[in-house]
Structure 1
């Protein structure tokens, strides 16, 4: 199968070919006299322009200027156009002088005057090239953002259904109701609180599709309700610890994400230990990221380690769609009987 030529090279070749044809048209129709080296000068200027604009593209990409905010891009478009127009003018002047194709009028000018004259004549072409290039990337980025938003909405809706059917599953509800029933006679106040906790969890799972992020404080409240219900079932077999930096409470996090990891810790960790174990929830800042960690007693099995479970798969996808490559999720064995699930979410510096 033949490889297609990238659109960039097609546009470069087509654009500078059009540049040559337009100048030939005006030369043939509007000329006031014959210029002996016109065609050589035109081709040399087009070739220099082809190379200079390609180098300019490399600088733009390496500097990631197309990823900057639009208001900053305008400033960079003007600045980089001026710089590369001067480079274009000096290079063209040197090439024409070396080839001996300068007009009589040009030979009488100093090198600096030649550069200024050529630069003024071609500044418009360079800045139009930049405007087209930046506009193309803006359109592509906007389109990609729209596609990511659609994918995210679809994933969140799927997450809600999976959460209701699987993560907040009938077994958990059944166990919670059994625990509450056992408390009704011996501890009515705790039973009432447990019903409130179960209601909060179910309400939160039903509303997961409506927002992309919630304050960490709200997500932590759901986790505490969930662990409080599980404590009724496990009693002294479950030890719960929190290490929360209060400054992280207002940080935005995807709804039900931390709860999913905590439930995974209970299901695959504590639930499989005869003597139970500990679940530790940590929230802190690490460099420019909000770090959330769930530690639990247990061992990774192959299924969890490969990340095939829906909860872990959705965690990775949601983080990538919401926060891009700067976000990270990993789950690993950090001790002989301790598993760590870690989420890093970039913090916007205001």
Structure 2
């Protein structure tokens, strides 16, 4: 009898230990985000409020992130794809249904940012942040620069420039200068856009994401970069400037999505709902200097950000910004031309 009782007690103890370990395992969250694209204070506050420990890994492109997930990377809960990648990942059945669009606080989100064609009711992902891709330049090397044509003229004059190591962003410059859509699937238009880059290859120093330190030092005069360059402009206003090119530019939007194989889906949903709070979205903008889809958060953003026309462009500039769409099999046109560009460099 005593032996049986001891066995039961031991079994109960093991059950309790297993439950404790399971609970501890659930109190974690793993984010896979673009490099330096979330304010660490947001993560700190989430942990303080929930007790959930957050880990963060970063990537440099949508393609890098997707390749890692498809290669079997496990353990990540939340990723932050651009809208067109949101659609691709949805079609690949990689995303978990969260019903975030039905959560309290989702009415804070401006409906125009629910852009993904595969997720029209925000049943899967939360609009996270948006911005534009323009030019950052060193004011000690460049007197004035207003657009893409100026950037290439600067290079022809002997100054070094860098373009992003991104096929759609960089070939997109050619589309904008040619007056065609960055989402064109017309082969002749894609080739013509790529030819704009090929014609200027001898004046392009590199294709890279890591250009800010080189522009800051003056080793490079100007670079194709994201609106987040304003972080560095704010730190070095006498040296750096960021512009949206007068011919137009691309804009981006990242969404917050939970992976279908996420080990901590409940915690991931908690984080999405936490990010719906206006003060949290505003806190992220304060450090990241990009746009937020959260309407009440905009009233909490510091004026030097809210009133910066390169971060929150006026309507006439905004109308000239193009956002990428999923091109499906037609993406091979861009990959083919990108290979030709990189091979010829």
- Pairwise TM-score range, normalised by the shorter structure: under 0.3
Q: Structure with the greater relative contact order (CA < 8 A, sep ≥ 6): 1 or 2?
A: 2
Q: TM-score, normalised by structure 2?
A: 0.23
* Structure number with higher helix proportion: 1
Q: TM-score, normalised by structure 1?
A: 0.22
